Structure 1
Amino acid sequence: GLAGLAILSQQLQLHGLAAETPAALIQQGTTEHQKVWVSTIADLPALAEREQPEAPTLVIIGEVVKLHDTLSWF
């Protein structure tokens, strides 16, 4: 969950993913209350700490995050 973002970020980087790999948090996706935050895997824990997203929140990691502006339909 969101409490494990620091470990997730650290482990992804330790296993070879670049710190600048795109990442996003999507809270209440596909609803009128949807919120999206875009960052990198290195900055993801700080983003979550600052923004305090609530469940349900998806964590998306990888180049697909760069399509957010193009596919932003909510």
Structure 2
Amino acid sequence: MSKVTLIGKSQARMGYTFLYAGDAPECKECKLYRLCHTLREGWTYEVVKVRGVTHTCPVHEDGASVVEVKEL
């Protein structure tokens, strides 16, 4: 089962894997906080689908893209 989240635009590509390390202090006030941080801290994920939506992000200078990921 996949989960929807946001990752940096430059990382938003099929097959990209990453370790979710938790939120940054800048995330606390973001309106998209609940969407970004649906993952389990310390788990590895793989991008299985990139949706065509990007948002401004206080952490990622190039913005954040909406993606679907699966746990590995």
Question: TM-score when scaled to structure 2?
Answer: 0.29
Q: Pick the structure with greater CA Rg.
A: 1
Q: Which has the higher strand share?
A: 2
More helix by share: 1
Q: What is the TM-score when the length of structure 1 is the normalising length? A: 0.28
Between 1 and 2, higher relative CO (CA 8 Å, sep ≥ 6) is seen in: 2
